[in-house]
Structures are given as structure tokens and as C-alpha cells.
Amino acid sequence: MNYKETTAWMFSRLPMYQQQGGAAYKEDLSRTLKLAAQLNYPERKFKSVHVGGTNGKGSTAHMIAAILQEAGFKVGLYTSPHLKDFRERIKINGAMISEQFVVEFVAHQKAFLEDHQLSFFEMTVGMAFSYFEKENVDIAIIEVGLGGRLDSTNIISPEVSVVTNIGLDHTQFLGDTLQEIAAEKAGIIKENTPVVVGETQDEVQSIFKQKANNLNANIYFADVSIHKTFPCSLRGNYQKKNIKTVLQTIKLLQARGHKISEEHIQNGFLNVQKNTGLRGRWEVLSETPTIICDTAHNMEGLSLVLNQLLSRSYDSLHIVLGMVRDKSVGKLVNLFPVDAKYYFCKPNVPRGIEAETIAQIFKEKGCNGQVYSSVNEAFSTAKAEAKEQDLIFVGGSTFVVAEVL
């Protein structure tokens, strides 16, 4: 199989949370551990930082990677989901994994993957770890896919574990309360390994402290321990919290002997997109009219993004909006302004909510707009209707943003 055929096989043959939701969620690590053994435990052959949390874990992982690249390290970066190309998930110093490696990995392991019914995510984690080992990375920044305790990435022994924050997302898998979700996210805390928690939240602080104490892991709440900050090329206001999380993580890496200077830190923050290729975080696509897209998709994330959006000056606001099935549209609608023009659409994934369904819920709240047959049609119409002093926002789902980039 060539690269196109290989990725088509991966997407069609294996359950994948990105497309299917719950069908792809495996409730233990047994298959991941079998794959690790099959690959001769690649995750044991490089240093790592493990990054979890509800919001900001992708941005945080990319910032850490950008700083370490400035410091001269060969840095692996594993994140999910991808926006345009599967290979975005697995990078070294900002360069995507080669098509050849993807093809050869699947060709060599195809029988094993089929026999053991590995999910798309489990297989991709194995591919990433194998790639990082073969390319001899100095350190890899590994983003948790879903939850933490049972996530396929949770077989590593990191230098530092990071949990950005806790919010209500993926409740059908992780629990209906912040406490239940925190317990799952805290599952990445390892014995005698320092842990950084980005935000001190009264509802869950004790859960992290107790877990860290049980495992003799020093715990640091970055919003309390870090007072200095740095300018960053990521322009969302919400990045201020992530920057503190990153700074505390870097501080711990320095304490463990990694040579990282203040200049490396400063340059890393200023070159996040350049060093890592990160996209879709408060990304300004145009200035006249202003077009901004952001992948925020849950209550906490959208609240921060929409607050920043509404603080800007514009004549009229146009919102291109689509969502996926595991989101509570009935609750999220309360975050959105009534005095905007909406362009409702369904992202091109099976989990996408029908645009008519979202439109009806928004209409009941007094929000006006039209339904479109695709993200592209909605976006094109918004651009055609917007005047120079208007603002267009594209969001509601990672998959909506992916279609406009």
C-alpha cells in the first residue's frame, strides 16, 4: 500500500474516536501494552513530558516543544487530533513523520494490529513511540488523547507530568463531575515524578494533592508558583494560563539537568507556530474583514474564546458554527451572543451534529442564522456577506476549523 492507501486503511479499518466517538474508547491499557511489547518497548528509550488536562494541553505541549527546540534538543511531539494531515500528530522538531515510515510501520505490523483489534489511537501511539526511538529524540512531549488513567499514552515514565486544568468534557467516558474527571486526569501522575497542575481549582485541588502524596510526587500549582510571564506568538488571552504551566514545567526540567536558558524560553514562546507548526488556536486568517478561528469546543474553552471575541471592536459579528455529538449544545448556546449572524454547518465527520439541529436550539435562544450544506459553503457565504469592518469567527469544533484551514 502507498501512503494514501495506508491512511485510508487506518481510518476505515480501525475504530477512531475522532470519527466515531465512544466506539473507539478502550477501557484498559492491555492492547497498548501488547503493542509496546511487540515493538520492544520504544517508550523506555527516550525521555518524555506527559501533558494532560481538559483545555490547553495541545498549546502547552507545543510551547514546551518550541522552547526545547530553541535549547538545541531534538524534540519529538505527539498530539491529537490532526487538522489536515494524519502526520501532524507525530513530529520531530516541527517536521512531520515521513509518509514512508507510516507506510512501513503499518505494513510490518498489520497482521498484529488486526489480530489484536487495536484502535486507531492505540496504533498511532505505538507508531509515534517507535518513530521517536528510531530517530533518537532527546525528549518527546506526549499529549494525552482522552482522560489520562486509561489513555494509550499512559505507559511512559516521564520527567514531568502536566495537567493543565479540569473542565466538563467527554463526560460519557470520564464522569459527570469535575471530581470524577480529575481522578481520571490524575491517573498520569507517576511515582517520584514531579507533577505540574496549571490551575488551582477548589473542587479538585485535593484530588491532585492526595494522588501526588500517595505516589511521593512533588506537586506544583503553576498559577500560584509562577509570577513571571513572557510574550507569546499564540494570541489567545487564555494562553496566559498555559504560559505559567509551561514555565513551571521548564523549571522542573532545568532542575533535572536539562540546559535551558531564559533566552531559549523567550525565543520558544515567540516562535511556537514557526518551531512546531501549531494551527487553529486564535488564528487570525484575515484582517479585512477580520477572520479568526479557534478549536475551543467545550464550556470552559468556548467561554474564554467568546469573551475575548466580544471584547473586540467590529461593526457586525458573523459566526460559522458546527459541533459534534458529544457536546451539550443546549448548554453551550448560552455562551453565544444573540446579536450575531450565524452560519450553521455540520463538520464532515460521522460525529457531526446536523446543522438543522444546532440551528433549532440557537433559534429558541433568539439567535438568527441560516443552515448550510457544508462548512465550506457556510464559510464562503460569511466571507461574501461580511463588510471590511466586520468580524467572522469560525469554531465550535476542531473539525470545523480543520475544514477552513
Both 194 and 155 in a single domain?
Answer: yes
Distance CA 369, CA 319 (A): 9
Residue that finishes a domain, picked among 276, 302, 327: 276
Both 309 and 288 in a single domain?
Answer: yes
Question: Mind listing the pLDDT tens digit for each residue in 272-319?
Answer: 999 999 999 999 999 999 999 999 998 989 999 999 999 999 999 999
Mean pLDDT score, 375-385: 98
Q: Crossing angle of helices 99-115/3-13, nearest 10°?
A: 30
Residue that finishes a domain, picked among 223, 242, 276: 276
Mean pLDDT score, 9-15: 73
Taking CB atoms within 8 Å and a gap of at least 24, the contacts of 248-253 are 248/196, 248/220, 248/222, 249/49, 249/60, 249/64, 249/160, 249/162, 249/196, 249/222, 250/64, 250/67, 251/226, 252/159, 252/160, 252/194, 252/196, 252/220, 253/49, 253/68, 253/159, 253/160
Q: If you average pLDDT over every residue of the chain, what do you get?
A: 93
Question: Mind listing the pLDDT tens digit for each residue in 193-217?
Answer: 999 999 999 999 999 999 999 999 9
CA distances from 202 to 116, 209, 227, 271 (A): 42, 12, 20, 34
Of the candidates 10, 20, 15, the residue with the CA atom closest to the CA atom of residue 109: 10
Distance CA 103, CA 111 (A): 14
Q: What is the pTM for the complete model shown?
A: 0.94
Sign (positive/negative) of CA torsion 95, 99, 102, 108?
Answer: negative
Both 210 and 340 in a single domain?
Answer: no
Of the candidates 349, 358, 355, the residue with the CA atom closest to the CA atom of residue 17: 349
Of the candidates 218, 263, 266, the residue with the CA atom closest to the CA atom of residue 246: 266
Provide the domain limits for residue 77: 3-276
Residue that finishes a domain, picked among 276, 297, 315: 276
Both 224 and 152 in a single domain?
Answer: yes
CA distances from 76 to 65, 116, 229, 245 (A): 8, 27, 25, 19
Question: Mind listing the pLDDT tens digit for each residue in 205-263?
Answer: 999 999 999 999 999 999 999 999 999 999 999 999 999 999 999 999 999 999 999 99
Beta pairing partners, 283: 293
Both 137 and 235 in a single domain?
Answer: yes
pLDDT above 60: residue 151? yes
Of the candidates 133, 144, 125, the residue with the CA atom closest to the CA atom of residue 40: 133
Question: Which CATH number characterizes residue 108's domain?
Answer: 3.40.1190.10
Both 299 and 255 in a single domain?
Answer: no
Sign (positive/negative) of CA torsion 106, 109, 114, 119?
Answer: negative
Both 272 and 297 in a single domain?
Answer: no
Both 296 and 175 in a single domain?
Answer: no
Query: In what side-by-side order are the strands of the sheet with 391-395?
Result: 283-287, 290-293, 391-395, 317-321, 341-344, 368-371
